[in-house]
Structure 1
Amino acid sequence: MLIGLMATADTHENHYFTDLAKTAKSFNMNVCKFTPENIDRDLKKVRGERFDSEREMWIASSFDIPEFIYDRCFHGLSRQQSETRIKINWLKDHSTFLGLGLPGKWEVYQSLKKHPLLQAFFPETHQVSASEDIIGHLERLNKIIIKPEFGAGGTGIYLLCKNDEGTLVSMTKKGTKYDRQFTSTSQLNKWLQHLLNRYKYLCQPYLELCTLENEPFDLRILLQKNEKNQWMERGRGIRTGQKAGITSNLATGGEAVTLDAFIKKNPETISIAVEQKIQHILRSLPAETEAVFDRLFELGIDLGIDKKGQLWIMDINSKPGRKIIQVLHPETMRDIHRAPFQYSQYLADHLQKAGE
């Protein structure tokens, strides 16, 4: 059985892919890696690299379409219908993807917000297409967050606050917070419209998802399917941001902290009641997300806890990073590396029974 690891660029997730490929040997599976650009639809072939398990190295090669695809492609902040996307969609008809991914944050929000077991955990969210929309929400709420509909890693997130001088816009990049003061509405309008011309944005009220010391934090939980098609929690960790910062993403300068260490320092944050709500979300969310959308293999769920102890679902990622788990729970990486092959085996057996 040939498992294809698909990434946006040749160098993307190289270490992870090599660890996976070494693991494949114990499942008697072969592994190749490629980028969508190198799919040849006419020949039904793919150019990429095949892993030589004897020499433990990647070798340039051309191969038939793999039976199973582990899709780790990231498409940036926009979703234009490019040749790459056309090729990926074609591949979905010619191979079995472990997980079929999720649409944008807005579509996910709209579908799951209606669910009776989950609706209380989603913050008020609006799609904004004109600068007037954003300014309207700012007038109403005084403090708002705007984030790209297809964003990841904390990129492109801005905090807008009304103050005596006008509007203060803040963002975090590589651990540094940048502020820009707009004194006139027309100036702010122009800047916002420039942003909206490039990407689709969502607007939310600013939630105080921070400790009593004013450090922003969130809880990342990594889930994967096992060989029985059951969701398994692989680990969880706290990401803390700079004091008075906006986000706690590791990519924008956040730090990873174990849950125990965090609770010891901030005992007021995660009470028994909060943990019960977390368990409720973990029981309901993966199944409901799959029921509405399509098959998923892994999920990164980001939860926020505000100063009143209210729990919020901030993000649901179908192609989650593993950095926080790798740092805080290295002992679980073996299970993480085995999971794509166990799940491929499940799908192979399952599809065979279904006669596909």
Structure 2
Amino acid sequence: MISFGMMSRSLKSETTYFTEIARRANPDTFTCFRFSPAKIHPITEVVAGEKFDHKKGKWVKAEFPLPMMIYDRCFYGNDLESKQSMAIVKWLKNRKDITFLGNGLPNKWTIYEVLSRSALAPYIPETILAASGKAVIAQLKKWNVAILKPVFGSGGAGIYKIKNSGRKFTISADADGRLAEKEFLSSSETEAWLDRLCSNNEYMMQPYLELSDSENCPFDIRVLLQKDWEDKWLLRGKGIRRGHKDGILSNLAAGAGIQTFEEYAGSLDLRTRKFISFELDEIISMLPGILEASFPRLFELGIDIGVSKDKALWVLDTNSKPGRKVISSVNPDLREVLYKAPLEYALSLTENLPEREGQHL
């Protein structure tokens, strides 16, 4: 019997997803639990969480030993509670009696350092660490327009566009489906604002790329990859996230819409369509192997790929705990496959447990 624990920082998170996985778990093979790392008793190591009752078809409160297999869907911020949870998860990953379905990737800067030195370097936007307001303003003399991204961040939160026009600096961000702007008329004012921003979070800086369509709506291609029971990477699907007109982000959290990849591809001329499809296939075939050569084993991967006005492709983000909304929205028939995938991979791991690896959050 496999004790299969689905872990999130709050039991309110991913309830539907975890429930649908548990419903498909063979009760003769799996006992499914859901829990938060904060609910592990530090001395007894007993977990206070929920167990899926197949007869009742729902979760019931339960106390149980640490599961032998854990599907980690924890997301962290910069708050104290996040840091405490991260420490507990790190402790779990160092235990020899627990196997994680997949491992989290490290922060965006560490990933950039690996990808920028790989065969995929031409697809990776130039990036520097934004150490201070003075450093950002100095770099703007070269780039003129740039994007600031938090090193530790997800969902498009905390992303800013900064533009320098003569003595004027304009900082903009997507907020509630609209563009919010702030103007500074001196570099000293701008520098002070940037210093406050960088003191709260570590930031990195990239040149602003025109990643928008003919209607000036930002968009990107979301690709979802998962491993099958033979430990082979499969492309589950591709979809388009499209932001609001004149906006910066195409993240769903920023109000982006969803369309099929086929709809987007159909809007292109044949030569461009073939070129983008070839480049996409190249990125998708190489990226997982490059990441797993530098970081511990993964189970799933969300890749966000931008397409600039000149049809160049750019890898914008890689996520080891991807959402499924884009892919399941454009292909509802795929939901059944996505619910079963963690269970099938868990089975393959129990039959052929890998040697212990160093693991990232």
TM-score, length-scaled by structure 2: 0.94
1:292-311 counterparts in 2 under 5 A? Answer: 292-311=294-313
What is the aligned partner in structure 2 of residue 57 from structure 1?
Answer: 58
Number of positions where the alignment pairs a residue of Structure 1 with one of Structure 2: 354
d(CA) in 2 for partners of 1:55 and 1:130?
Answer: 56
Offset, 1:234: 1.1
1:279-290 counterparts in 2 under 5 A? Answer: 279-290=281-292
Offset, 1:54: 1.1
What is the aligned partner in structure 2 of residue 172 from structure 1?
Answer: 174
Task: Classify 1:45/1:136 alpha carbon distance in 2 versus 1 (closer, same or farther; 3 Å).
Answer: same
The structure 2 residue matched to 1:137, chosen from 139, 157, 174, is 139
Offset, 1:25: 2.6
What is the aligned partner in structure 2 of residue 351 from structure 1?
Answer: 353
Offset, 1:339: 0.8
d(CA) in 2 for partners of 1:279 and 1:206?
Answer: 25
One-letter code aligned to 1:43: T
Offset, 1:137: 1.3
The structure 1 residue matched to 2:114, chosen from 103, 111, 115, is 111
What is the aligned partner in structure 1 of residue 256 from structure 2?
Answer: 254
1:308-319 counterparts in 2 under 5 A? Answer: 308-319=310-321
The yes-or-no answer on 1:16 pairing with 2:42 is no
d(CA) in 2 for partners of 1:153 and 1:221?
Answer: 15
Cα deviation, 1:40-87, whole Å, max 9, x if unaligned, reads: 232122110001011111111111110110000000257998332221
d(CA) in 2 for partners of 1:223 and 1:233?
Answer: 5
Task: Classify 1:284/1:26 alpha carbon distance in 2 versus 1 (closer, same or farther; 3 Å).
Answer: farther
d(CA) in 1 for partners of 2:138 and 2:80?
Answer: 26
What is the aligned partner in structure 1 of residue 91 from structure 2?
Answer: 90
d(CA) in 1 for partners of 2:27 and 2:151?
Answer: 40
One-letter code aligned to 2:69: F
Offset, 1:323: 1.1
Task: Classify 1:108/1:79 alpha carbon distance in 2 versus 1 (closer, same or farther; 3 Å).
Answer: farther
d(CA) in 2 for partners of 1:298 and 1:78?
Answer: 26
SS at match of 1:220: strand
One-letter code aligned to 1:106: W
What is the aligned partner in structure 2 of residue 185 from structure 1?
Answer: 187
Offset, 1:262: 1.9
The yes-or-no answer on 1:74 pairing with 2:88 is no
SS at match of 1:256: strand
The yes-or-no answer on 1:35 pairing with 2:36 is yes
d(CA) in 2 for partners of 1:296 and 1:79?
Answer: 27
Task: Classify 1:82/1:3 alpha carbon distance in 2 versus 1 (closer, same or farther; 3 Å).
Answer: same
Unaligned residue ranges in structure 2 (runs of 5+): none
One-letter code aligned to 2:341: A
TM-score, length-scaled by structure 1: 0.95
d(CA) in 2 for partners of 1:23 and 1:188?
Answer: 54
d(CA) in 2 for partners of 1:194 and 1:299?
Answer: 33
d(CA) in 2 for partners of 1:38 and 1:32?
Answer: 13
Task: Classify 1:196/1:24 alpha carbon distance in 2 versus 1 (closer, same or farther; 3 Å).
Answer: same
Offset, 1:164: 4.6
One-letter code aligned to 1:25: N
Cα deviation, 1:95-138, whole Å, max 9, x if unaligned, reads: 111111100000011012111x2111101001112111111111
One-letter code aligned to 2:30: M
Q: Percent identity?
A: 37
Offset, 1:266: 4.7
1:321-340 counterparts in 2 under 5 A? Answer: 321-340=323-342
One-letter code aligned to 2:103: L
